Amino acid sequence: MMSRAGMFRVSEGIAVDMSNRVYKLPSFHDVLEGEIFLQNLPSIVTAHALDPQKGERILDMCAAPGGKTTAIAMLMKDEEEVVAVDRSHNKVLVIQKLAAEMGLNCITAFKLDALKAVWQRNDSDITTDLCCSEEIDGVTIQSSDLLGSHVEKNSSIIMEGMSAEKSGKESVSNEKANERTYVSKADIRKNIRRIRNGSGRNQCNGGRVQNSKGFSPNSFDRVLLDAPCSALGLRPRLFAGEDTIESLRNHAKYQRRMFDQAVQLARPGGIIVYSTCTINPGENEALVRYALDRYTFLSLVPQHPRIGGPGLVGHCEFPDGYIEEWLRPGEEELVQRFDPSSPHDTIGFFIAKFIVGPKDAQFGKSCASS
């Protein structure tokens, strides 16, 4: 038998197709529903690193399937407000279902592309600051919702000239537009598995989901961005070799755009936690370098608990001359890198925690014009 660490180090070998379980212990699927939710150790560490406090408003930007969201809600003792977003209708339903199973009432889930998480006011917006809608079986009906602290709870709703049929078509077209922006290989593989395996616990259809147009800048105390990634930290896979340098760079570009949104949403004095389930430095240490160099008001801060190892210092020069900058000396101990070959025997994972300092006026102007 080959160890987990050994599997990551060899390029070929013999695979065994198992027809029967090695152990008699049954699957935990649907066992003790509402009592147990299995998570990898780094995911639990991520929720604790965010360290949500009483009286705070929390955002989980890429929340599905909801493991970290519910962990955060539990740390807050199901008080205050935890906002969870995902761009997939079915994934938002999964978050809602898990929150209900766990008996958590402080979680509000929205369908929203994280690349459009910051609400941009323009002339075409309805004057009553509409920011969310409800989608039921593909039909979207607008309603008022929380944009941020400046939206009145009793805002009137203007529905004139808007039919459910038109809203439904707009909802579908918007969803298709979002899907064209970026589809990771991991998402493609998941969809293929769903087609093969049919409906399961995570395949929910026909439920009610609230859409959101985004949130006001500086409207959250803490933001968790568990970004979509190349997932190279997960268990060894036969298709791991499909990723190319170009595809890995595309992941990094996508993550930077999402991080830009997170920076705008976190208030001065707030916290941003960035995490991935990949071991690729371009999506981890290079993102930290980008964040610190572009946003001078961001600073890395220590994480508790600290279980993972240090980050990577230095840079990498590619054959085409591109230089990817990583961490600088002294920064490596402020992040957590989980290596699949480490004694902890975890998946590959990365966590960085930033504190948001005072944002200058120029930052606000550049965000408004972007």
78 is in an annotated binding site: no
In this structure, are residues 356 and 269 in contact, taking their beta carbons and an 8 Å threshold?
Answer: yes
308 is in an annotated binding site: no
Cα–Cα dist 151/116, whole Å: 18
Distance of CA 26 to the CA centre of its chain: 30
Cα–Cα dist 336/306, whole Å: 7
Q: How many other C-beta atoms are found inside a 10 Å radius of the C-beta of residue 122?
A: 6
Residue 253: burial class (beta carbons within 10 Å; 0-12, 13-18, 19+): exposed
226 is in an annotated binding site: yes
Encoded amino acid at 206, one letter: G
Cα–Cα dist 92/211, whole Å: 10
Cα–Cα dist 89/85, whole Å: 10
User: Which of 119, 51, 45, 42 is CA-nearest to residue 272?
Assistant: 51
Looking at the DSSP assignment, which residues form a beta bridge with residue 135?
140, 209
What token pair was written down for 231?
Answer: 């997932």
62 is in an annotated binding site: yes
Helix (H) or strand (E) holding 315: strand 315-317
What token pair was written down for 364?
Answer: 């606000």
Cα–Cα dist 166/102, whole Å: 36
68 is in an annotated binding site: yes
Cα–Cα dist 95/99, whole Å: 6
113 is in an annotated binding site: yes
DSSP conformation class of 281:
G
Cα–Cα dist 236/245, whole Å: 19
| Catalytic residue, candidates 204, 229, 277, 367 | 277
65 is in an annotated binding site: yes
Mark whether 316 is an active-site residue.
no
Which ranges constitute the DSSP H helices of the chain? 4-9, 41-50, 67-75, 89-101, 164-181, 185-197, 245-265, 285-294, 361-369
Q: How many other C-beta atoms are found inside a 10 Å radius of the C-beta of residue 278?
A: 26
Cα–Cα dist 365/88, whole Å: 31
Known binding site for S-adenosyl-L-methionine: residues?
62-68, 86, 113, 226
Known binding site: residues?
62-68, 86, 113, 226
Catalytic residues: 277
